[in-house]
Amino acid sequence: MTAIPAAERALRRSGAWMAVALVLVAGVYVRALVFTPEEATQGLAQKIFYIHAPSAWVAFLACGIVGVCSLLYLFLKDARLDLLAASSAEVGTVFLTTVLVTGPIWGKTIWGAWWTWDARLTLTLFLWFICLGYLVLRGAVDEPGRRARYSAVLGILGALLVPFIHVSVLLFRTLHPKPVVLQTSRPQLPGSMLLTLLLSFTVFTIFFVALLVRRYSWARLRDAQAQSQAES
Amino acid sequence: MPPANGGYMIAAYVAAAVIYLSYSAWLLWRSRGR
């Protein structure tokens, strides 16, 4: 088998990539906290945006990967797709947790409430429950084929929520702010704030990829070990 | 005059750092020596 040495190499390298990614995230912190101007009406709490929005982007990207890999798994029955979906779901849940923690902190000072049952917030909470359900399901089913099939179905259903969450602020009357960058007109952010936001999006994506490579290569090795134990 | 809400900003940044560092450490610990 040639895939296992490749997974071992990826696992060894991923530690260094994770360290680099964490240094880059620290750089985003410095850029956002020290070198990005304070917003005139929201004050310093507006800077929560620079970690909240990129975490949300990564969480949705992770759910998208889960959905695509799950769909492909149901057709191709390739265990690597199942492992990639599972890895992406776990890492994505971490980013989604950050979204659900940082959002209410911003909401408390700007809206005056930690939480409101607004469409986007509620759908994001539901997605988090689906992610948790996905991880619990994987832990509860021992037989690999059945586990992969069941979790693929749940993964696809979870990923279907992502586009609804994205357009929820446009479809419904919500408290959550509308997109300030992804819109048809020019971004509504001054250059220095936009630069910090784009930098943060890039760095958080790199951080996600580093975590995903680590989680996936570890899962591949574990899977191969379990297979060889079953064969011997 | 913007509101004085720097404490909320710090709380959010610290919370995010705790979540990301904890998960990174947990992932490294689980996959060590493999």
Q: Going residue by residue through chain A (232 aa), what tens digit of pLDDT does each one get?
A: 456 777 788 888 899 999 999 999 999 999 999 999 999 889 999 999 999 999 999 999 999 999 999 999 999 999 999 999 999 999 999 999 999 999 999 999 999 999 999 899 999 999 999 999 999 999 999 999 999 999 999 999 999 999 999 888 887 777 788 776 666 566 678 889 999 999 999 999 999 999 999 999 999 998 888 887 888 7
Q: Does A230 map to a domain?
A: no
* Contact between A44 and B21 using a beta-carbon 8 Å cutoff: no
Q: Tokens in use for A26? A: 């620290």
| Binary contact (B6, A44; C-beta < 8 A) | yes
Beta-carbon neighbour count of residue A65 at 10 Å? 21
> Is residue A32 assigned to a domain?
no
Q: Is B28 on the interface with A (CB under 8 A)?
A: yes
What six digits make up the tokens of A52? 């909240």
Minimum Cα–Cα distance from A90: chain B residue: B23
Q: What sections of B1-34 are H helices per DSSP?
A: 6-30
Q: Rounded distance, CA A104 to CA B3, Å?
A: 17
Helix axis angle, A119-140 relative to A79-110, nearest 10°?
140
Domain that holds residue A195: 52-179+191-219
> What is the model's pTM?
0.94
Question: How far A89 CA sits from the closest chain B CA (Å)?
Answer: 13
pLDDT score at A10: 83
Total domains in chain A come to 1
> Is A40 inside any structural domain?
no
- Cβ separation A109–B6 shorter than 8 A: no
Q: Do B12 and A11 touch (CB under 8 A)?
A: no
pLDDT at residue number A170: 81
Q: What secondary structure letter does DSSP report for A39?
A: B
A-chain CB neighbours of B6 within 8 Å are 43-45
Q: Quick one: pLDDT at residue A2?
A: 55
Domain contains A36: no
Examine residue A95 and state whether it is found in any structural domain, yes or no. Answer: yes
Residue A15 belongs to a domain: no
| Separation between Cα atoms, residue A22 and residue B17, nearest integer Å | 10
Which has more pLDDT, A224 or B13? B13
A9 within a domain of the structure (yes/no): no
Residues of A in contact with B28 (CB under 8 A): 15, 18, 214
pLDDT at A186: 65
Beta bridge partners of A39: A43
> Does residue A199 belong to any structural domain of this protein?
yes
Phi, psi (deg, nearest 5) at residue A176: -60, 135
pLDDT bracket for residue B34 (50, 70, 90): low
